[in-house]
Structure 1
Amino acid sequence: MKRDLVARKRPVFDELHPKIYAAAVGLVAWFAFMAWVLFDRSSDISLSLGLVTLLFVVAILLPWILALLWRRYRMPYEPHRGPTSLHDWEAGEFAVWGAKLRGSHAAIDVLLPLAAVSFGLTAIGIVFVIVRATVLP
């Protein structure tokens, strides 16, 4: 049985809200920062952390630059929507391939893996620091 007894016409969005992108970038930055803070204890690990950080920088900059180019060179027949609030975006629907998701569910699907990895690395790093401090004199 449907929750809504009266069918509402919700707006359908085909791109993520900019605040969702900002949260994703923040979680990736948190991951890289915690990796450097909690695991950079010897000189041989710095190269690996540097390469991982470079990978994250490229993974953030490349989609951002492509999004800027896409917005600048938009086709004339494509509709131009004004800025939408995060609340309106979450209340609407998000088009995914052939289906539609609620905006809030799409945001959770995008941010949950990044949050789990970022906070999981932080927890593992804290345990690593505590164990090393208690085992080594």
Structure 2
Amino acid sequence: MKRDLVATNHPIFDELHPKIYGAAVGLVAWFALMAWALFDRRSDVSLSLALVTLLFVVAILLPWIISRVWRRYQMPYERHLGPTSLHDWEAGEFRVWGAKLHGSHAAIDVLLPLAAVSFGPTAIGIVFVIVRASVLS
């Protein structure tokens, strides 16, 4: 077990980097696109896919709107000095409740479940398409 006797000089962030949000939105959009492309084969599935897509649109828009309102009414002493690069954000620390995570670990914790939810059904859908093509031929 490693114990640092000297305090490191890493910046501490309390919000995710905008590129992490962009990657999350991209993964959710990938899930919705692949759901429509690979699983929309009958008319009875379209309503379910439309409701799931609406749920994801709300799940993306609601935090975005809240963040815009938060930034608009932020106190002057709470504002950050300037934009931070993704590399600097990943090298720094991310504050989570009472603890701190390394920035890259926080990004993995946020994006890994979304990646699993996006790419898992994509793989299942590709298998369905291959099986359907082999049965029909």
TM-score range, shorter chain: over 0.9
Tell me the C-alpha RMSD between the 2 structures.
1.5
Specify the SS of the correspondent of 2:95: strand
- Offset from partner CA, 1:82-127 (integer Å, 9 cap, x none): 1000000000000001000000000000000111111111100000
Amino acid in structure 2 at the alignment position of 1:60: I
How far off its partner does 1:3 sit? 7.5
Structure with the largest fraction of helix:
2
Specify the SS of the correspondent of 1:30: helix
After superposing on structure 2, the runs of 4+ consecutive aligned residues of structure 1 that deviate more than 4 Å are 3-6
Counterpart for residue 12 of structure 2: 12
Kindly report which structure 2 residues correspond to 1:1-137, keeping only aligned pairs within 5 A, or say none: 1-2=1-2, 6-137=6-137
How far off its partner does 1:4 sit? 5.8
Structure 1 residue ranges without an equivalent (≥5): none
How far off its partner does 1:16 sit? 0.2
Structure 2 residue ranges without an equivalent (≥5): none
Amino acid in structure 2 at the alignment position of 1:78: E
TM score, norm. by length of structure 2: 0.94
Distance 2:78 2:14 in 1: 12
- Offset from partner CA, 1:49-86 (integer Å, 9 cap, x none): 00000000000001001111111111234243310000
Q: Percent identity of the aligned residues?
A: 84
TM score, norm. by length of structure 1: 0.94
Distance 2:51 2:36 in 1: 12
Distance 2:129 2:17 in 1: 37
